[in-house]
């Protein structure tokens, strides 16, 4: 029998129309959208299904939309009797994982994501910044190049072997990118983000999120959650406000999360929500794992066989 981990995507996976097919086919998905509308006072169907790409890409919109679609897909899977043994999420996706694991209710998760998205959008508008993916160098090498450059750019995402992301002021990111190419990077790809996420530039936003998280009720978890901050299991008695503040300013140790899940016995990874970005990264980290998406109803239906008593 498979040991299943659910993983939840972060910002960048959004696309216009996402979640529509799930909404139209499955009542638990419609219930999820209705809950989000009620809690947030938004028309989340319009946000996800009809918003043009440039508007949806704004942090304040993308994070809410992605959370709602992941919540909808998660609830559909649970309605089949398919539940994970453990969970993790990439950056924003860790908020989804907190709800899936039971640390937060879905209602409080929606409130947390709205506060996070707004705080990060303000940081992007006020401070600006740039991010770029570095392909072909190890995480340690990219970290060392950032330190040697001394311009404030930092390694912020340990995505997979040979794939890291850097962030900082645009000039500093450009300088580190040049140094990475000189050190043998195959490619340095600017990302469509105008902020230095997961760096100390997010400190003010992190304090805003800390205050928002302090108003939420934290519950004993039902499932283990593997966190971006350390790449290992999040303690059950976590100080959630402090953790969320740290998570906003710390590197995303995704490779560590995946390796920890695999070491704990996860042999099947299901990306719950929009896209297959995380599955692509997991394939680079460990090719022995089974990888399954949930973007389309055909993907969802293929997962029924993994549920107890599934066909």
Please count the other Cβ atoms lying within 10 Å of the Cβ belonging to residue 27.
11
Strand (E) positions, 55-196?
Answer: 86-89, 130-135, 154-160, 163-168, 187-190
Task: Answer yes or no: are the C-beta atoms of 103 and 243 closer than 8 Å.
Answer: no
> Is 260 one of the annotated active-site residues of the chain?
no
Instruction: List Cβ neighbours of 154 (8 Å cut-off, separation of 6 or more).
Output: 146, 166, 167, 168, 196, 198, 199, 251
Q: Choose, from 61, 198, 243, 260, the residue flagged as catalytic.
A: 198
Question: In angstroms, what is the C-alpha Rg of the chain?
Answer: 19
Residue 70 annotated among the catalytic residues of the structure: no
Question: Both ends of the chain: CA-CA distance in Å?
Answer: 14
* DSSP code for 305: G
| b/e burial code for range 200-218 (CB count within 10 A of at least 16 → b) | ebbeebbebbbebbeebeb
Q: How far apart (Å, rounded) are the C-alpha atoms in residues 173 and 300?
A: 39
Catalytic residue among 70, 91, 250, 260: 91
Please give the Cα distance from 141 to 162 (Å, whole number): 10
Catalytic residues: 91, 198
């Amino acid at each position: 029998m498979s040991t299943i981990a659910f993983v939840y995507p972060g910002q960048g996976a959004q696309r216009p129309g996402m979640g529509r097919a799930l909404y139209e086919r499955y009542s638990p998905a419609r219930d999820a959208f209705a809950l989000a509308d009620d809690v947030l006072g938004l028309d989340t169907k319009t946000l996800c299904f009809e918003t043009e790409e440039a508007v949806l890409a704004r942090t304040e919109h993308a994070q809410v939309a992605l959370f709602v679609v992941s919540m909808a897909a998660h609830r559909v899977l649970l309605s089949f009797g398919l539940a994970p043994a453990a969970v993790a999420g990439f950056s924003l996706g860790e908020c989804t994982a907190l709800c899936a694991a039971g640390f937060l209710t879905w209602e409080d998760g929606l409130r947390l994501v709205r506060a996070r998205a707004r705080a990060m959008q303000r940081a992007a508008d006020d401070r600006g910044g740039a991010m770029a993916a570095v392909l072909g160098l190890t995480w340690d090498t990219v970290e060392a190049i950032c330190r040697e450059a001394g311009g404030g750019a930092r390694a912020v995402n340990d995505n997979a072997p040979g794939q890291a992301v850097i962030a900082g002021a645009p000039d500093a990111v450009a300088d580190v990118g040049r140094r990475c190419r000189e050190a043998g990077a195959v490619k340095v790809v600017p990302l469509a983000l105008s902020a230095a996420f997961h760096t100390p530039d997010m400190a003010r936003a992190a304090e805003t999120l800390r205050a928002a998280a302090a108003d939420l009720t934290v519950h004993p978890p039902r499932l283990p959650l593997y966190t971006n901050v350390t790449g290992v299991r999040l303690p059950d008695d976590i100080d959630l406000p402090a953790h969320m503040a740290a998570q906003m300013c710390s590197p995303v140790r995704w490779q560590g999360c995946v390796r920890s899940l695999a070491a704990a016995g996860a042999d099947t990874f299901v990306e719950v929500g929009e896209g297959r970005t995380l599955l692509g990264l997991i394939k680079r980290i460990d090719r022995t794992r089974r990888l399954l998406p949930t973007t389309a109803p055909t993907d969802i239906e293929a997962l029924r066989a993994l549920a107890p008593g599934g066909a």
